Structure 1
């Protein structure tokens, strides 16, 4: 692959004028939180979610390692309301994680957005479930996206789901916030009457999920020449 000079890497002003970039322009929420690898819960990372709401019950998010201009794109997360989640078959529910603890504990923040403005969206998030696939395991030093996608889990108040204090303090210092203060201010945010025991599968069963590749015969509609 030929190298690309930084001066030509950015789209030209003419290109930007001609292309609408409509899906990107729908991104309206920036949330910063933490995620844990399902297959190796010793690995925790800070994540930045840029989300668009397609309906009251569904969001889709692109997830970056930071909010810097050249931040690595880590993967995607899909977020559904508890009502939608309950319609999933049990095998699908196992792949999803709950958000109630993440919101109410102050782990999820909307950087530089006052809590009063963010609160309606936080209330929706607290009753939601997410499925997050990491396609670039940047934390292990990969210079490019390598290998199979990894399923990610949300932090929880039990080991090994507790976020490491140094990660949390570094994030809080970066944005001049206190997750403890946010936690106190969010005590009255409602969460689902019962968080599904099928979500956050590791909490009940002590097992995660990992993807591996398997060579398989291709489905053919006509013989190859």
Structure 2
């Protein structure tokens, strides 16, 4: 069993899914408010989109989660996302996803490409959506994103009840229109109800978005092999000298 699939054991004492810890003091609230006023927080302010979608654990595709991605675009070919478990003010930061264009993917070695997943089905099926953004505004961006690939590491497995980010990170895969890649209907219905949308209606409006033929056989590797990836943590000798110049 890989480390990313191990049960973390007993949780720290506490109530429900809230991380253990004492409530913030008045002084801490004041410090945070003051810091917000004086500091630039430039990386956070560059987050320009909120995407709501779903993800599947690579090592256990029976586990599927509803995710909220807050996206920063660094250039035409590269985006980075902070991933949360909700869009509430108390949302937990559960991982990070990097999104690259097909052009960048094709330049990567095969073993690296195996860690990435395609976004075409996720978008054309209506699973990927931007809350409160009209579809007609969103659609030009979706046509570009349908040709992109993501690498998503989940660092906090909240779906199994973890109240802290425990254990090894887990690699996540994207929804697909086949067997284990299909998102459970109850998850989609719950998401649609929360955001007052219909994934089926979104799918109909996106029927003209082309999903390109894959230029590489390595992304979505599980679809060709039936095998996923999991991280294993091992003890290792510490290097006394850096291998980099």
TM-score normalised by the shorter chain: which range applies?
over 0.9
- Choose from 73, 91, 96 the match for 2:116: 96
The answer for unaligned runs of 5 or more in structure 1 is: none
- The answer to whether structure 1 residue 140 and structure 2 residue 174 are counterparts is no
Tell me: higher relative CO, structure 1 or 2? Use CA pairs within 8 A at least 6 residues apart. 2
User: 1 CA distance for matches of 2:21 and 2:33?
Assistant: 23
Question: 1: distance between equivalents of 2:181 and 2:198?
Answer: 20
Give TM-score scaled by structure 2 length. Answer: 0.87
Give the CA deviation at 1:7. 4.2
Q: Runs of 5+ in structure 2 lacking a partner?
A: 1-19
Q: 2:213, 2:162 → 1: CA distance?
A: 41
SS in 2 for 1:193: coil
Conserved in 2, the CA contact under 8 Å of 1:78 and 1:130? Answer: yes
Contact 1:41 1:161 (8 Å CA) reproduced: yes
Give 2:222's match in structure 1, choosing from 175, 184, 202: 202
Q: Deviations over 1:5-54 (max 9, x none)?
A: 25455453321121100000000010000000000110000000000100
Q: Deviations over 1:88-127 (max 9, x none)?
A: 1000000000000000000001011000111122112100
2:196 to 176, 179, 182: 176
8 Å contact kept, 2:106–2:215: no
Correspondence list, 1:100-111, <5 A: 100-111=120-131
Contact 1:98/1:195 (CA < 8 Å) preserved in 2?
no
Q: Aligned partners of 1:61, 1:176: CA distance in 2, in Å?
A: 24
Report 1:1-225 matches (<5 A).
3-5=22-24, 7-10=26-29, 11-194=31-214, 196-221=216-241
Greater Cα shift, 212-221 or 88-97: 212-221
TM-score (norm 1): 0.94
